[in-house]
Amino acid sequence: MKGIPEGASVVIPRLFAATLRRRLISCKNTFDAVERVRRPGPDGTVAHALMTIGPAMLMIEAEWPGCRAVLPNWTAVRPW
């Protein structure tokens, strides 16, 4: 039994975005990424997407309640 599914990247980064739809468009325009999978959330907006950039895979997810991985609160970050 193989540990990595056929056709999958060895490492798949998982990013979180407040505005997932805009991030998908940005990846397509900037890196010529191809959207492979899109899953809607309970409210109908995009909650998860799998994209490829060349042979590499990238997962982008929207923040969701109960998820411990959230975007930083940049307004609370103090300047050096």
Residue extents of the structural domains in the chain:
14-63
Per-residue pLDDT tens digits for 5-46: 677 777 888 888 878 888 899 999 999 999 999 998 888 888
For residue 68, the model assigns a pLDDT of 67
User: What local confidence, expressed as pLDDT, does residue 77 receive?
Assistant: 55
- pTM of the predicted model, to two decimals? 0.72
Confidence of residue 73 (pLDDT cuts 50, 70, 90): low
Q: Which fold has domain 14-63?
A: 3.30.720
pLDDT reported for residue 52: 92
d(CA 3, CA 70): 28
